[in-house]
Copies of this chain bind each other. A is one copy, B any other.
């Protein structure tokens, strides 16, 4: 009976068939130990001459890394094993050979590995990261679905820029047209929220940033919720609840993967409500007191975010940024027009911004004035202005970059390991 390694615990003492690949192998001479993987886990299979006969015993000693094999044997509990089980092999069959597999247990350089990303993902560590990614994405979707949000996909091809064109990728749309790849679904989300109340979009987004930092990909996945009849405080509470839910879910279901990654789980266990809330003003004072060269009015740089997020054991919410550095659609604080009702959530342990959002400018005249101030082409935004012409309501939402969340929760150095096939300034292959 074909059994997946992750389900082996349900088959103790039974004869099972494992269909997988040889991950590693060692031998005591009298017994060969095959470490098998099948995509759901890793397990040790024990091959003795008595059980399999001379020919298979000899063959088992020559199987090379990543050979695909079907193994039949008995599942036996063994407390020393990582999964708690081993297989006593009765027989096996080679499905596909593998010679000179290029990724060996030794260290390889990052470019070497990225060139072989299609094989690199077979390692235990990369599999663990991708499973955590899977869990995070599904936690996000379940969170919004469970709260009555409707998934409404926003377009990838857009006719105009959401926030300037310098970081947009142009695509040739048939002969005569240029389409730009979306940087954010937000403007469309706002229209969708006016129709469906509470919505989210969740798809790939694109930024043509020529930065080579550990936090940037040119293609990344972002979830963006938007709520009609909501203010900045609603947005902050939603963001807080979402992050708490994601971390709890990964801790609940992906302990094994976190262990593979040697993640310090206590740091994740402290991610609980309430998150500290700091105004931009307070944040600037704090940074200045620590000797950082920021002036009021500037956006935070990486070192600023790192410093701020290292102050706390859980994510930090910084709100009310200078209106001048924020997008035209952000609502100014009615009590103080020089700050906008925006919020960023900074992950702890120095990971910096994972969420950005806020309350949108719902007033037609103020929005028109902002579009003019920023020199944006009003014609491109006529449909967006319609949302203020026909039954405008207070509304808000945010965007959360999935790869940054994965990097934080897995505690990775670089976002390039958070997605199966990372796309960067000089990386488009495989």
**Within residues 344 to 386 of chain A, which ones have a CB less than 8 A from any CB in chain B?**
362, 383-384, 386
Q: Is the CB of A192 within 8 A of B121?
A: yes
A210-225 vs B: 1/0 string, CB under 8 Å?
1000000011010000
Cα(A131)–Cα(B151), bound, Å: 8
Q: State the copy count for this chain.
A: 2
Q: Is the CB of A66 within 8 A of B391?
A: yes
CB distance from A122 to the nearest CB of B (A): 4
Q: Which residues of B contact A390 (CB under 8 A)?
A: 66, 96, 98, 101, 119
Given contacts A157-B219, A392-B96, A429-B383, contact A151 B122 (CB under 8 A): no
Contact of A155 among B97, B121, B156, B423 (CB under 8 A): B423
Output the nearest chain B residue to A70 by Cβ-Cβ distance.
B229
Q: Does A127 count as interface, using CB distance less than 8 angstroms?
A: yes
CB distance from A22 to the nearest CB of B (A): 8
Cα(A221)–Cα(B21), bound, Å: 32
Q: Does A91 count as interface, using CB distance less than 8 angstroms?
A: no
Q: Which residues of B contact A221 (CB under 8 A)?
A: 153
Q: Which residues of B contact A171 (CB under 8 A)?
A: 169-172, 181
Q: Is the CB of A121 within 8 A of B177?
A: no
Q: Does A285 count as interface, using CB distance less than 8 angstroms?
A: no
Q: Which residues of B contact A158 (CB under 8 A)?
A: 428
Q: Is the CB of B428 within 8 A of A179?
A: yes
Q: Which residues of B contact A195 (CB under 8 A)?
A: 39, 121-122, 126-127, 130
Q: Does A32 count as interface, using CB distance less than 8 angstroms?
A: no
Give the interface segment out of A52-60, A133-141, A264-272.
Answer: A133-141
Q: Is the CB of B68 within 8 A of A393?
A: yes
Q: Is the CB of B130 within 8 A of A196?
A: yes
CB distance from A292 to the nearest CB of B (A): 32
Output the nearest chain B residue to A121 by Cβ-Cβ distance.
B195
Cα(A219)–Cα(B119), bound, Å: 30
Contact of A39 among B97, B145, B197 (CB under 8 A): B197
Q: Does A389 count as interface, using CB distance less than 8 angstroms?
A: yes
Count A interface residues, CB 8 Å.
Answer: 93
CB distance from A318 to the nearest CB of B (A): 28
Cα(A100)–Cα(B22), bound, Å: 69
Cα(A146)–Cα(B389), bound, Å: 44
Can you list 28 A-B contacts (CB < 8 A)? A2-B229, A6-B148, A19-B229, A19-B393, A38-B197, A39-B196, A66-B390, A66-B391, A95-B391, A96-B362, A98-B389, A98-B391, A118-B188, A118-B384, A121-B192, A121-B196, A130-B195, A131-B150, A134-B151, A137-B151, A155-B420, A157-B218, A158-B428, A169-B173, A171-B172, A174-B208, A179-B428, A203-B203
- Residues of A whose CB lies within 8 Å of any CB of B are 2, 4, 6, 19-22, 38-40, 66-68, 95-99, 101, 116, 118-119, 121-122, 126-127, 130-131, 133-134, 137-138, 141, 145, 148, 150-159, 169-174, 177, 179, 181, 188, 191-198, 203-204, 206, 208, 210, 218-219, 221, 228-229, 362, 383-384, 386-394, 419-421, 423, 425, 428-430
List the 3 closest A-B pairs by CB distance, nearest first.
A39-B197, A96-B392, A68-B391
